[in-house]
Structure 1
Amino acid sequence: MTHPQGTDLEYDVLIIGSGAAGLSAALRLADTLRVAVMSKGPLHEGCTFYAQGGISAVFDRHDSFDSHAADTLDAGAGLNHPDAVRMTVEGAPDAIRWLSELGVPFTRRSESGRSGEYHLTREGGHSHRRVVHAADATGRDVETTLIARAREHHGISLLENHIAVDLITARKLGAAGDDRVLGAYVLDRSSDRVITIAARTVVLATGGASKVYLYTSNPDGASGDGIAMAWRAGCRVANMEFMQFHPTVLYEPRAKAFLISEALRGEGARLQLPDGTRFMQRFDPRGDLAPRDIVARAIDHEMKRLGIDCVYLDISHRPADFIREHFPNIHARCLSLGYDMTREPIPVVPAAHYTCGGVVTDLHGRSDIEGLYAIGEVACTGLHGANRMASNSLLECLIFAKAAAADIHARHASSHPATRALPSWDDSQVSDSDEEIVVTHNWAELRRFMWDYVGIVRSSKRLRRALSRVDLLLAEIDEYYRHFRIGNNLVELRNLALVAKLIIVSALARHESRGLHFTLDFPEADPTLEQCDTLLAPDLTQPGLPPQVVSPAAKTPGDP
């Protein structure tokens, strides 16, 4: 039985994701276009809300764009795209001023003669104080301000509790001519019904995929949805092997993972072993302020060497009033769990934090498919290279949201591709599941073997073991997807498993250690692979994950 043609909702621009990237783009588009912003749960429940540290921007008179760019390039280990870096750092001050005008309450300086200026802190990888912040809850204040402005805007429709299932493209409908995006199938979680949304332009602002790991600082929605949907639609992805592990997440088995901002180390906090010995200087001359990949590997090394569950972060040597003033939320959260950071070290471990790779885009946020944009963590713009520097993430959201909005405005002004009748979602051949345990089991298995085999330290053997397991899971998930009505957990699991394979294939292809990708089989960086992104391109004529198109090429251990 074929359902009749039918579109439930129609917009000029459909933005999938309601974090800093999605909401910023919406606010820049909605004066002249009909815009919808869609979120999987409540609008605020994404990674932006939980970002603590701040947004990097040059405001100090001793700092410069050249210095910010140089630090970003150094952290990215030779894989950044210089044009993306330059565009981002030079646009940062205006992005901060735009947020201030919207009402974000950034912390200001109070010193004599400097009152009113932004208070700047410093984080790992930065050579100057350049992190603008709102106490230690910058993401929360940015997100709540953007949501408030979006709710006030008559041109923005807010669709909460909606999860995108797949993109609708001309190619998928068998239309002649160039492929372009036409909309999306979306699960309305309030009714468990899949609706059809038509849009002339679709913007992916869905965030990253750190939920693919057992331990992560991210909220539950970070399941790689945008990356997976774009891949299935025909977009290339790049640098998926570079998954960032934040060095300091509170180690507390009784509670959900809680990020301990890098800004603590910027203000003098020290990493130490259980006996109080400091160790970071043995791994990098920058010590506790080394880039995140170095710090995370150092902690992982010490935990394995000593057989300990965690290391410790100590800022108790700073005045108690200073700690409470600068880190009120972290202090309160730790205190609620029995740790007084004004008096004692707190236990920390690394956890999956940020996806540096993603959907390949240009500097306007355009993907390989006409009308489809990707901005924020879902995209690979070339800004981060092999490792994201602290507090460049929210900045990227703001800069590329502005660039994408400008490009969308220009394209809508020059041409108005007509929307067409889209087919309704066909679930006439499926039934309700009586085996939900399959989804639960596969979810747990996926995240466990990704942590064990594709984590901070990798090897070719571990990666091949993970690849064989993910292929089995993908086959099971596909079978389940074809026979049962979908729900939120199945949609996320399907996306996570696909993204997991993209990560594994990319990691196997990079025969060196660089940035966030460290493998025991190739422990040194290969200088011939600088500026070599790992590109994967789907072959839409074949089922399953097609062969990769990979820039890096080197011999594997034991090859002749």
Structure 2
Amino acid sequence: MIKADVLVIGSGISGLSYAIKISERMPEAKIIIVTKADEDESNTKYAQGGLAVVTDFDKDNFQKHIDDTMRAGDGENNLEVVKMVVREGPERFKELVDWGTNFDQKDGHLMLGREGGHTENRIVHHKDITGAEIERALLATVNKSPNIEIMAHHYVIDLITQHHVPNKIFDLEKIDCYGAYVLDEKNKEIKKITAKITLVATGGAGHVYKNTTNPIIATGDGIAFVHRARGKISNMQYYQFHPTALFSKRDGMLFLISEAVRGDGAKLRTKDGAKFMHKYDEREELASRDIVARAIDNELKISGDDYVGLDCREMNQERFIEHFPNIYQKCLDEGIDPFTQLIPIVPACHYLMGGIDIDMDGQSSIKNLFAVGECTNSGLHGANRLASNSLLEGLVFGHNAALKTVELLKINDFNFEDLKAIPQWDEEGMKMMDEMVMISYLRRQLQEMMSDLVSIVRSNDRLALAKRKQQEIFEAVNELYNYSILSPKLSELRNLTNISYLIIKHSLMMKENKGAFYNKDLV
């Protein structure tokens, strides 16, 4: 058994900033960060646009940012949470700079971008790789902290709760978290890591769909194992589809064309070059993501085309290359000259607004279990996330969760007598799968079902069919899980199956269209 004061699951902006804050305040605390891939692989790394924060108080103010956030979330946001995040933003941003993150400047002033749904230029950025720059700086700070250990390629299978303690009564209203069972991929062994406080910062679940902008690790692990531990999960019906992902005939992770490109003047066109956004919203290309994504989806249904075009031909070429060097290079690599051709784009699954229910300190419904970031239902995003608010959420809630964690650690009111009785992971009678075809087949079936029936536009009939299909897939996955030695791929499939169940269940409960959720039978 490995013991820690704090166990952090995930190595993106939420988990890393949280760990740094605790390390600074309690250098004697033992902090373990587990991540299922390389230490820098996270959704944070792929965030292109930047961080939404009020810095130019001559032109911008907190109320404008609050109003923009509430408008994008279709009023389903928690107003007090929105106010807190927006108002704390500048201080958290300053800390990010202090940790060594570089943001684009000109003549000593921050260069501020604008994205859909924002009424002012307020996006701080580092070219078009802001997330990667933040990840670099945070990891450099973590690696200087002697009391933080990163365990890469360690995959969390399940949380440890009273459910795992022999002869312990499992009270659904009083669940405690004691840590997690973690698969060491290199040594092929399942470790028991116990902790006084556990943080879930596992990001999103984009690979529940065929096409997503998320990295391959985004399989909803944290939400799924908190759900299995009987933690409270909400608003899973709200899944944002980014309007502009680079079209590909291959399923999987699609390359994101940042919303900042439209903020700088790019226009949407049909395949034959006709404008269409004016038909859907007076803000046209700068409408919120749900509106733009549905507009594109509708145009594709009308035309039967595979994609629409993003028109950058009239944009300033020098500025484009300076601001979006990776997007420009990716287009060239795909044989597209964005200054003479339309960039072929499609909407792709991008960001989950729902997840683990948390309070303003990041505490979940399970005692001693915190959660931060995309895996949570924090109240910030409501029915649809405003562009570039996600990195801000990670910083603010990471800060609050760290302060509350330090408070709890200092009180030291932890009864861990039960830990001695928690067994090691039992694989007796299980067998190693001799081929992966069953896992690949079931994962593909799940993704196709979700993409066809539970996507940008839903209907009562589609959701009813999806519910039946999901149950069939769940039963097949459960049978595999019950007799197989666990692997990350099998665990991810199990988690994606849980995620699909929650999305379908919460979609069926909806009685009106809100934000990113759209059922054509509710119009």
Residues 52-201 of structure 1 mapped to structure 2, 5 A cutoff: 52-60=48-56, 61-108=58-105, 110=106, 115-173=107-165, 174-175=167-168, 178-201=174-197
- Stretches (4+) displaced over 4 A: none
Match of 1:246 in 2: 242
Q: TM-score, normalised by structure 1?
A: 0.90
User: Is there any run of 5+ residues in structure 1 with no aligned partner, and where?
Assistant: 1-6, 524-560
- Cα distance in 2 for residues equivalent to 1:329 and 1:418: 51
- Cα distance in 2 for residues equivalent to 1:59 and 1:433: 54
Q: Describe the shift of the 1:459–1:254 C-alpha distance in structure 2 as closer, same or farther (beyond 3 A).
A: closer
Match of 1:540 in 2: none
User: Are 1:293 and 2:285 matched, yes or no?
Assistant: no
* 1:508 CA displacement: 0.6
Q: Which amino acid aligns with 1:163?
A: Y
Residues 277-316 of structure 1 mapped to structure 2, 5 A cutoff: 277-316=274-313
Match of 1:542 in 2: none
Q: CA RMSD in A?
A: 1.2
Q: Deviations over 1:330-350 (max 9, x none)?
A: 111111111122332211000
Residues 271-350 of structure 1 mapped to structure 2, 5 A cutoff: 271-350=268-347
CA contact (8 A) 2:177 2:368 kept: yes
CA contact (8 A) 2:10 2:202 kept: yes
* 1:374 CA displacement: 0.7
- Cα distance in 1 for residues equivalent to 2:349 and 2:341: 26
Q: Which amino acid aligns with 1:80?
A: N
- Cα distance in 2 for residues equivalent to 1:89 and 1:502: 29
User: Are 1:217 and 2:213 matched, yes or no?
Assistant: yes
**What SS is found at the alignment partner of 1:450?**
helix
**What SS is found at the alignment partner of 1:41?**
coil
Match of 1:432 in 2: 432
Identity %: 40
- Cα distance in 2 for residues equivalent to 1:209 and 1:402: 24
Match of 2:44 in 1: 48
CA contact (8 A) 1:453 1:462 kept: yes
**What SS is found at the alignment partner of 1:140?**
helix
* 1:435 CA displacement: 5.0
- Cα distance in 1 for residues equivalent to 2:124 and 2:359: 27
- Cα distance in 1 for residues equivalent to 2:196 and 2:318: 53
- Cα distance in 1 for residues equivalent to 2:317 and 2:59: 29
- Cα distance in 1 for residues equivalent to 2:289 and 2:313: 22
**What SS is found at the alignment partner of 1:514?**
coil
CA contact (8 A) 1:171 1:180 kept: no
**What SS is found at the alignment partner of 2:150?**
strand
- Cα distance in 1 for residues equivalent to 2:98 and 2:111: 17
Q: Deviations over 1:395-419 (max 9, x none)?
A: 1001100000000001111124154
Match of 1:408 in 2: 405
**What SS is found at the alignment partner of 1:349?**
strand
**What SS is found at the alignment partner of 1:503?**
helix
Match of 1:208 in 2: 204
Q: Which amino acid aligns with 1:282?
A: K
- Cα distance in 1 for residues equivalent to 2:136 and 2:327: 19
**What SS is found at the alignment partner of 1:476?**
helix
Q: Which amino acid aligns with 1:384?
A: H
Q: Deviations over 1:38-57 (max 9, x none)?
A: 11110111111010000000
Q: Which amino acid aligns with 2:462?
A: R
Q: Which amino acid aligns with 1:372?
A: L
Match of 2:460 in 1: 460
**What SS is found at the alignment partner of 2:359?**
coil
**What SS is found at the alignment partner of 2:241?**
strand
User: Are 1:19 and 2:12 matched, yes or no?
Assistant: yes
CA contact (8 A) 2:164 2:423 kept: no
- Cα distance in 1 for residues equivalent to 2:519 and 2:334: 36
Q: Deviations over 1:163-208 (max 9, x none)?
A: 1000001243243584311010011111221111011111000001
* 1:95 CA displacement: 1.5
Q: Deviations over 1:316-373 (max 9, x none)?
A: 2122111111111111111111112233221100000001000000000000111000
* 1:434 CA displacement: 3.4
User: Are 1:370 and 2:367 matched, yes or no?
Assistant: yes
**What SS is found at the alignment partner of 1:410?**
helix
Q: Mean Cα displacement is larger for which, 447-456 or 94-103?
A: 94-103
Residues 437-452 of structure 1 mapped to structure 2, 5 A cutoff: 437-452=437-452
* 1:225 CA displacement: 0.5
Match of 1:529 in 2: none
**What SS is found at the alignment partner of 1:234?**
coil
- Cα distance in 1 for residues equivalent to 2:21 and 2:125: 23
**What SS is found at the alignment partner of 1:284?**
coil
Match of 1:263 in 2: 260
